[in-house]
């Protein structure tokens, strides 16, 4: 597998950098030498991606690049649906991202990004599942003024899913990975905020690997 480089991906990385995001993203193209077994291909994609995560930001700590130690024998994964991958914080029909209100300018609870953070707009049941939408919001630094924050994050999230997955308009093969086999996940262990997914797009014949590990005080 080889890493895909394109103008769209460079723009996405620039967007994530503007968002101060801790998400790591790698897109890998098939080159014909991969194993035929689908699960083995996912394993190969994850190993390749982690080697690339090990050489770049934005998730690299201040002062230098990380040096991850991994025990690949402990890797475990499961196939999941697109809905489980994205989680309930994103509404597919309206392409809206849910945001958790807090502070002096919001009623407590979850709200769609474009709605006023008032009691009658609260979302029930609360979207508590932890998938890509949760990880995306969790991995972004709070550098946007509060009144614009939710709307800006929604724009960034739409850029992410449209660039990487074409807005989920066709079937994908998605695996969710365990997070106890590499030092890459160390930062998020305390708060259970480490994530890794590999996504195979049959139409594009490539894999997308997304990972993040966020400290509680990020």
Per-residue pLDDT tens for 77-95?
999 999 999 999 899 999 9
**pLDDT score, position 143:** 47
**pLDDT score, position 99:** 81
Q: Regarding beta strands 194-201 and 96-101, do their DSSP bridges make them parallel or antiparallel, or are they unpaired?
A: unpaired
**pLDDT score, position 145:** 40
Lowest-pLDDT choice from 12-16, 64-68, 114-118, 126-130? 64-68
Average pLDDT over residues 127-151: 72
Residue-range domain boundaries for the chain: 2-213
Please state the φ and ψ torsions of residue 81, each to the nearest 5 degrees.
-85, 165
Strand partners, 29: 2, 206
Q: How far apart are CA 25 and CA 22, in angstroms?
A: 10
The string of pLDDT tens digits covering residues 93-131 is 999 998 876 644 556 678 888 887 778 888 877 777 889
Residue 175: exposure state from Cβ atoms within 10 A (0-12, 13-18, ≥19):
buried
Nearest to 201 by CA among 157, 158, 169: 169
Nearest to 80 by CA among 215, 199, 203, 218: 199
């Amino acid at each position: 597998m080889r890493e895909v480089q394109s103008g769209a991906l460079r723009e996405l990385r620039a967007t994530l950098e503007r968002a101060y995001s801790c998400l790591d993203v790698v897109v890998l193209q098939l080159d014909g030498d991969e194993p035929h077994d689908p699960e083995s291909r996912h394993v190969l994609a994850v190993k390749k991606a982690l080697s690339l995560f090990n050489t770049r930001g934005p998730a690299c700590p201040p002062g230098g690049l990380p040096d991850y130690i991994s025990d690949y024998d402990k890797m475990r994964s499961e196939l999941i649906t697109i809905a489980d991958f994205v989680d309930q914080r994103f509404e597919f029909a309206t392409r809206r991202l849910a945001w958790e209100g807090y502070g002096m300018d919001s009623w407590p609870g979850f709200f769609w990004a474009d709605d006023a953070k008032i009691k009658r707009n609260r979302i029930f049941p609360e979207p508590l599942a932890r998938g890509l939408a949760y990880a995306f919001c969790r991995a972004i630094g709070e550098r946007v003024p509060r009144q614009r924050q939710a709307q800006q994050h929604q724009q960034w999230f739409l850029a992410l899913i449209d660039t990487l997955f074409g807005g989920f308009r066709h079937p994908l093969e998605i695996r969710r990975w365990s997070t106890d086999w590499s030092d890459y996940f160390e930062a998020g262990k305390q708060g259970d905020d480490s994530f890794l997914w590999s996504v195979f797009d049959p139409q594009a014949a490539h894999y997308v690997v997304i990972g993040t590990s966020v400290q509680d005080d990020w």
